[in-house]
Amino acid sequence: MNERDRDLDHKGRKTGLRLIMWLAIALLIAMGLLWAFASRVAEPATSQRAPLNETPPATQ
């Protein structure tokens, strides 16, 4: 068995290319989830409420 045969999986396909393909798909999914969380779920910093232990400036 030569070196070229070891790069093939049991169906004769290149394993390195398949690994890169799956890593690219996983990266795209992770980026999509991060974008969805950052743009829709997380509150922007300007609309966040003050912590409960701080008193508003009007009551001081």
Residue 14 CB partners (closer than 8 Å, separation 6+): 7, 8
Whole-number pLDDT of residue 37: 83
Whole-number pLDDT of residue 16: 83
Residue 53 counted as domain residue: no
Residue 30 counted as domain residue: yes
Domain of 11, in residue numbers: 1-43
- Closest by CA position to 41, among listed 49, 33, 50: 33
Q: Is the pTM value of this prediction over 0.85?
A: no
What is the domain count for the chain? 1
Residue 57 counted as domain residue: no
pLDDT in tens, 12-49: 777 788 889 999 999 999 999 999 888 776 666 666 66
Residue 16 counted as domain residue: yes
